[in-house]
Amino acid sequence: MEYLVKIDNLEKCYDDFSLHALNLAVEPGAVVGFVGANGAGKTTTLKALLGIVEPDGGAVELFGERVTANSSALDRLKARIGVVLDTCAFPGTCTVKAVGTIGRAAYSGWNADVYEELCQRFDLAPKKKVSELSRGMGMKLTLAFALAHDPELLVLDEATAGLDPMAREEVLDLLRAFMEDGRHGILMSTHITSDLEKIADEVVCIDEGTLVFDLPKDAIADTAGVARCRAAELETVLESGYFGAGETFFTQHGYHADLLVPDRFAFARTFPHIAVERATIEDYMALRLRGEHR
Amino acid sequence: MKTMMVSDFCAMKSALVQMAGILAAAGIVMAWAMDTAVGAAAAVGAMAPFMYLFSVGALDEQNGWERFRLTLPLTRRQVVFGRYGSTAVVAVAAAVGGLLVGLLVTAVADAVGNEGGLLAGLSSAQNPPEALVCSVVLTLTVFLVGAAVALPLMARFGMTKATRFVPLVVVLAMVLGIAALDTPLSSGVLAEWGAWVTGDVWHGALLVGGALLVAAVLYGASAFIAARLYEQREF
């Protein structure tokens, strides 16, 4: 299969931080959520993917072609990618219309009609300057810019941060429409995990530069659960051998504990007296990253 | 390169329009205050590109534009060459603008015909067109040399850090230049050279044209160095 993005054993070292042998892939038709705490290495990964930083090891493939920073292949393939970073990055002196002019100069596949239509939809007046836009409006402008050249891959870094719930829903609708034809893909780094519950197919989590889990969203949001145990029940579960070594993640809060269970239905059959709820991506991530581990 | 130039001009459009108006007015006032159209033309020709260079460099660091720009289908080399291109276009336009301001001032002074009066120093007799051309071309030359030093530093360190190094490099270059010229041998050579230049109007033109050519070559070479530095930079 030709992946839109395939990252193998990516490594990048800074004085105080390193990415360790990170693997990640986005296939056509998939929305991959990329989560982790602040400073986990998400943005560094995206920068390496886009050639903004040079990896120290590993390989990055875009649309089936291996790329390196400053390679001509990367610059050709970037025309097939739409990028939304965590801020509206256009110079404050540019108008909405001028941003379209930059897009027309940059992308051979630029569609001015699509750009104008999206700007209209987002209430972005052509003469409005970037410096006059709120954070939310700025993110909408960046999204309009990213979509107007019909990219095959969208790379979003906190794209919905700063948007009100209605605007976020509007953006998610736009992303759903983008995904309709099955040839597109999205790599979406975000802290708003509820957005991923609505749109993602797969969730990749990293922490301190290391891959923690890479799972289909349904394995988290449908199958996994959080068992709400009393302290004694937790001990019973831990001693039962139900979980293999190193597979138990839990947090204790005084007399009760939250225990991550990969299959809540199987767990409920084995321990019918323990309440188990559906896990959210946030629960799953918090327990995997910050829970006690045995 | 074209994308980069378009993006530079889109970002600087309103500032360039403002700059053109302000510098045209300032040029006229300077000509009147200094009683010379040649000096005013040179001042306009120098101020605009330097203002452009530092303003567009500062915009790079605003909102993370420099980082985002690298996500566009642009090589880093194209980014640097585009910046050199847009800067050169502004420098040439400023030289033409300076020349037009000078010609306008002399035309007005000649039309008013204020012999021996307030506008006497602004007449075309005092500010012949060839002197105006020489002044803006020499200004353009100085700018190109300055930009050839500043742009690689901006490419390597970014605008904020580069502003710490650019004055240091300029002052060092001036000190070393003065030291090199302040020797008995160089004084003699300079005196002979001065006599040759003033001996014939074509010698002067040759000197000005040659200086511009050398500056342009230096500017071009600087672009390749800046591109190399920019390719190694991480954001």
Q: Which of A188, A186, A214, A213 is nearest to A4 (CA)?
A: A186
Last residue of a domain, one of A185, A216, A247: A216
**pLDDT score at B114:** 65
Are B68 and A53 in contact (CB < 8 Å)? no
Give how many domains chain A has, as a whole number: 2
**pLDDT score at A63:** 92
pLDDT digits (tens, 9 = 90+) for B74-118: 999 999 999 999 999 999 999 999 999 999 999 988 888 766 666
- Mean pLDDT rounded to a whole number for chain A: 91
Q: Which residue has the higher pLDDT, A185 or B123?
A: A185
Q: What are phi and psi of A23, to 5 degrees?
A: -115, 140
Are B72 and A106 in contact (CB < 8 Å)? yes
CATH value at residue A78: 3.40.50.300
CA within 13 Å, CB half, B72: 29
**pLDDT score at A72:** 83
**pLDDT score at A8:** 93
> What is the rounded CA–CA span in Å between residue A283 and residue A258?
9
By Cβ distance, the residue of B3, B10, B75 closest to A70 is B75
State whether A269 and A150 are in the same domain. no
How many CB atoms sit inside 10 A of residue A277's CB?
13
State whether A191 and A236 are in the same domain. no
| B10: closest chain A residue by CA | A98
Q: Which residues of A touch B235 (CB under 8 A)?
A: 47, 52-53
**Which amino acid, residue B79?**
V
**pLDDT score at B197:** 72
Confidence of residue A293 (pLDDT cuts 50, 70, 90): confident
State whether A34 and A145 are in the same domain. yes
State whether A243 and A189 are in the same domain. no
Are B63 and A81 in contact (CB < 8 Å)? no
For the residues A147-157, what does the mean pLDDT come to?
94
Q: What are phi and psi of B35, to 5 degrees?
A: 60, 35
| B76: closest chain A residue by CA | A70
Which residue of A90, A104, A127, A131 to mutate against B (max B Cβ within 10 Å)?
A90
pLDDT score of A32 more than 90 = yes
Last residue of a domain, one of A216, A247, A265: A216
pTM exceeding 0.95: no
Q: Which residues of A142-176 are buried (b: 16+ CB within 10 A; e: fewer)?
A: bbbbbbbbebbbbbbbbbbbbbeeebbebbeebbe
**pLDDT score at B185:** 65
Are B73 and A51 in contact (CB < 8 Å)? no
Q: Which residues of B touch A85 (CB under 8 A)?
A: 64, 67-68, 71
Last residue of a domain, one of A186, A216, A246: A216
**pLDDT score at B192:** 79
State whether A209 and A232 are in the same domain. no
**pLDDT score at B161:** 86
By Cβ distance, the residue of A47, A106, A130 closest to B73 is A106
For the residues A4-15, what does the mean pLDDT come to?
92
State whether A89 and A56 are in the same domain. yes
State whether A244 and A200 are in the same domain. no
State whether A130 and A204 are in the same domain. yes
Confidence of residue A103 (pLDDT cuts 50, 70, 90): very high
- Which residues of chain B fall below pLDDT 50? none
For the residues A90-98, what does the mean pLDDT come to?
93
> What is the rounded CA–CA span in Å between residue B158 and residue B155?
6
Q: Which residues of B touch A55 (CB under 8 A)?
A: none
| A79: closest chain B residue by CA | B73
State whether A123 and A35 are in the same domain. yes
State whether A210 and A257 are in the same domain. no
**pLDDT score at A247:** 83
Give residues 105 to 124 of A whose Cβ lies within 8 Å of B: 105-107
Are B70 and A52 in contact (CB < 8 Å)? yes
Question: What CA dihedral angle connects B216, B219, B220 and B223, to 10 degrees?
Answer: -170
pLDDT score of A252 more than 80 = yes
| B15: closest chain A residue by CA | A93
How many CB atoms sit inside 10 A of residue A13's CB?
13
B→A interface, C-beta within 8 Å: 2-3, 6-7, 10-15, 59, 62-65, 67-76, 231, 234-235
> What is the rounded CA–CA span in Å between residue A90 and residue A141?
9
Cβ contact A26:A5 at 8 Å: yes
Which residue of A12, A52, A76 to mutate against B (max B Cβ within 10 Å)?
A52
Partner B contacted by A70 (CB < 8 A): yes
∠ CA A78-A42-A53, nearest 5°, is 50
Are B73 and A76 in contact (CB < 8 Å)? yes
Q: In chain A, which residue ranges form alpha helices assigned H by DSSP?
A: 42-49, 72-77, 96-106, 112-121, 135-147, 165-178, 193-199, 217-218, 231-240, 264-270, 281-290
Q: Which of A218, A199, A230 is nearest to A264 (CA)?
A: A218
Are A89 and B67 in contact (CB < 8 Å)? yes
Question: Strand A210-216's sheet: what is its strand order?
Answer: A81-84, A153-157, A185-189, A31-35, A202-207, A210-216
Could you list the residue range(s) of the whole structural domain that residue A75 is in? 5-216
∠ CA A256-A257-A263, nearest 5°, is 135
**pLDDT score at A162:** 76
State whether A154 and A190 are in the same domain. yes
For the residues A47-66, what does the mean pLDDT come to?
91
**pLDDT score at A235:** 87
State whether A81 and A54 are in the same domain. yes
> What is the rounded CA–CA span in Å between residue A27 and residue A31?
8
Lowest mean pLDDT among A127-131, A289-293, B150-154, B220-224: A289-293
